[in-house]
Amino acid sequence: MASSSGTVTTTTVNGTTRLTGLSSGIDVDSIVEQLMAAEKTKLNRLNQQAQLIEWKQEAYRDVISDIQTFANTYFNVTSSSSIMRKSTFQAFSVSSSSSAVTAAYSSDAVAGSHTISVSQLATAAAKQTSGRLSKDIEGTAQASFTAAAGKSFVMTVDGTDYTIVLADTVTDVDGLQAAVDTAVGGGKVAVGADSDGVLTIAAADDSGVQSISISDADSDSALSDLGLTAGAANRIDTASTLAEMAAAMAGSFDFDSDGQVALTINGVSFAFDQDVTLAAMLTEINDSDAGVTMKYDALADQLVLTADKTGAGNTLAVTETGSSFLTAALGRETVAGVDAKLTVDGVSLTRSSNTVTVDGITYTLNKETTEEATVSVAQDVDTVYNNITSFVDAYNELISSLNSLLSEAYDSDYPPLTEDQKAEMSEDEIASWEKKAKVGLLTGDTTLRSFLSNMRNAIIDSVAGLATSITSIGITTGTYDEKGKLYIDEDTLKEAIQSNPEGVMTLFTQTSASYPGTTSVRKLNAGARAVRASEEGIAYRIYDILQDNISTISDRNGNKGLLLVKAGTENDTSASDNMLTEQLEALQKRITKEENRLDDKEDQLYAQYTTLETYISTMNAQLSALSSYLSS
């Protein structure tokens, strides 16, 4: 807070009153500012050191992020690109001479040709409606053609709307049939009537018509005069309640004494009230542990209950107590499931499923065959080649980036800017300066050098028990100044994949016999690690090196990956528990101490000048009073 009186200004800073002004003719603020600027040398140096550590931590974390991306793509067994998976090196193309049998390969497949014939498909035990589930459309009262004359209604046949117009000449059922034939087409819909003149509407025999429904026309509707109900249809609506279904089904059913349908399916009991919809009933049964699927087939107008598993041994046990829904909707007969019968390469097989796996080839049986089908399995050289090339390209990109960081020269002419320096520069000038100041922060870093050296050795060192090497399959390192870059001879690598697929796969994916697995590597001592590395393929060696540097799992000494120990990574406890963060915290304590010292120094200077100003101001006042006295 500041106040002014005459030529003297009073300012309060942090509870200390500062008196400045022109009494002495001295620009106190400017003098103090200049004196404090000289005092800030140490603070500026500390802040610059802190800034360098922050930038270095950011640089390390960028490196960690790049390595993590590389690891997640090529060294995570759940990744489709992982070179730790045998399937990455076991790509095949599979073809079948017949649509009756399709095939796919697994990791145990080998190239070759197989013959297969299918004499019987596996089926599941099932129950279904005998005939049709739904009634035809039936009137509710005697038709009055006289009252309906000149009116119309809409008939929807298999999704297409037709307007049926009743001219004055329509006086009986035959006339109505003619009007329907005119609108819909002859021989598609049959109109009839009982002895009381109550109408029925059904699909004509052998017409191919499935679904029929009726609704009111936009103008005067003839439906009520014909004794018909708008919305009536010859297909059950799954949104209908069970009570509505009982009236709409061709074979009506009764509820039990509690007004429910009570079923037991494969030992699971169900009870459905009358107001439960068919859709809700189907959902509850299908989501249960009964191991069945119940659905309404609108095309065939049948309710179907099928066991989820195919085969002769998977039965379907359904009982009902008190109600009669089961008999009315699903009939009395249960069709038993049967096993698939097939012959593969001359060997007869019986299986409960239509999916059969033999020697790494999974056959899917689609229909019975009239002659043998031939399934051919060929090595997909291009896919395996592309998988390896993708890894090599990513590896080269990673080591190139790290080698660039290690060889950058730090320019001491571009230290971090002080706050005073930034105040005199534009944003673009600051950005340009800091870009140069961040170059070379990781120059010669020993952790990264060791990482790159270990990666190179992991690739070029031989694998115990294998005659195949990285060079023998066409992958070589460049010249010394290329610092480990890999090159691929396409012809040599493709030839190796074609002629020795097992050797190529093992070169990458072999695991240690003495210390297998992935999770154990962080707990091994140096001797065990050496044995493990000698027995491992390239992929597992590199995996171990990656874990040494970026693992969030502590090793046997309680330390996380080397780079995390040094700089930490986000979303992990190492983000705040690492060497550079500790250095920053220690520096911040020194910075705070220095800032406090400078505050005290500034207060001291202002106190001295405040005393001077107060003394001069007092003397000026006394002189003014004396002058006034003498002049009077």
Phi, psi of 129 (to 5 degrees): -60, 135
- 178/269 same-domain check: no
- 61/167 same-domain check: no
pLDDT of residue 109: 83
Interacting residues of 610 by C-beta distance below 8 A, sequence separation 6+: 17, 18, 19, 20
- 522/393 same-domain check: yes
- Asked if the structure places residue 233 within a domain, the reply is no
Binning pLDDT at 50, 70 and 90, where does residue 509 land? very high
Residue, of 519 and 405, whose pLDDT is higher: 405
pLDDT in tens, 107-143: 778 889 999 999 999 999 999 999 999 999 999 999 9
- 395/507 same-domain check: yes
Sign of CA dihedral 464, 466, 472, 473: negative
pLDDT of residue 25: 58
CA–CA gap between residue 463 and residue 459 (Å, rounded): 10
- 585/479 same-domain check: no
In 75-120, alpha helices (H) = none
- Asked if the structure places residue 229 within a domain, the reply is no
Residue whose token pair is 């039965």: 315
29, pLDDT greater than 80: no
38, pLDDT greater than 80: no
What's the angle, vertex CA 320, arms to CA 314 and CA 323, rounded to 5? 155
pLDDT of residue 315: 85
19, pLDDT greater than 70: no
Average confidence score pLDDT of the chain: 91
Strands 212-216 vs 152-157: parallel, antiparallel or unpaired? antiparallel
Binning pLDDT at 50, 70 and 90, where does residue 628 land? confident
Q: What percent of the chain clears pLDDT 70, i.e. is strictly above it?
A: 94
pLDDT in tens, 551-605: 999 998 999 999 999 999 999 999 999 999 999 999 999 988 988 887 777 777 7
Domain hosting 488: range is 47-87+383-577
pLDDT of residue 66: 97
pTM, entire model = 0.66
pLDDT in tens, 39-58: 788 888 998 999 999 999 99
- The last residue of one of the domains, among 200, 216, 232, is 216
Binning pLDDT at 50, 70 and 90, where does residue 9 land? low
Binning pLDDT at 50, 70 and 90, where does residue 2 land? very low
26, pLDDT greater than 90: no
Count of domains forming the chain: 5
SS3 540: helix
The DSSP 8-state label assigned to residue 240 in this structure reads S
Residue whose token pair is 């990781």: 442
pLDDT in tens, 69-110: 999 999 998 999 999 999 899 888 999 999 999 999 887 788
CA–CA gap between residue 226 and residue 210 (Å, rounded): 23
Binning pLDDT at 50, 70 and 90, where does residue 7 land? very low
- The last residue of one of the domains, among 293, 310, 330, is 330
5, pLDDT greater than 50: no
- 320/367 same-domain check: no
457, pLDDT greater than 90: yes
CA–CA gap between residue 534 and residue 373 (Å, rounded): 47
CA–CA gap between residue 361 and residue 357 (Å, rounded): 5
pLDDT of residue 28: 67
pLDDT in tens, 202-256: 999 999 999 999 999 988 899 999 999 999 999 999 999 999 999 999 988 999 9
- 476/522 same-domain check: yes
Give me the mean pLDDT over the 523-548 stretch: 94
CA–CA gap between residue 154 and residue 183 (Å, rounded): 10
27, pLDDT greater than 80: no
Q: What is the CATH number of the domain that holds 266?
A: 3.30.70
- Asked if the structure places residue 463 within a domain, the reply is yes
Sign of CA dihedral 486, 487, 492, 493: positive
**Among 68, 106, 103, which Cα is nearest to 85's?**
106
Could you tell me the two tokens for 551?
């693992």
- Asked if the structure places residue 543 within a domain, the reply is yes
182, pLDDT greater than 70: yes
- Asked if the structure places residue 223 within a domain, the reply is no
What's the angle, vertex CA 210, arms to CA 215 and CA 226, rounded to 5? 30
- Asked if the structure places residue 282 within a domain, the reply is yes
pLDDT of residue 1: 46
CA–CA gap between residue 157 and residue 214 (Å, rounded): 9
- 503/556 same-domain check: yes
- Asked if the structure places residue 128 within a domain, the reply is no
pLDDT of residue 36: 64
Binning pLDDT at 50, 70 and 90, where does residue 632 land? low
Q: Roughly how many angstroms between the first and final C-alpha of the chain, as a whole number?
A: 40
- 473/552 same-domain check: yes
pLDDT of residue 35: 65
- 444/534 same-domain check: yes
- 453/548 same-domain check: yes
pLDDT in tens, 464-508: 899 999 999 999 998 878 888 999 999 999 999 999 999 999 999
CB atoms within 10 A of CB 163: 12
CA–CA gap between residue 403 and residue 409 (Å, rounded): 12
CA–CA gap between residue 101 and residue 406 (Å, rounded): 58
- Asked if the structure places residue 187 within a domain, the reply is yes
- 561/421 same-domain check: yes
Could you tell me the two tokens for 455?
């990666």
pLDDT of residue 147: 95
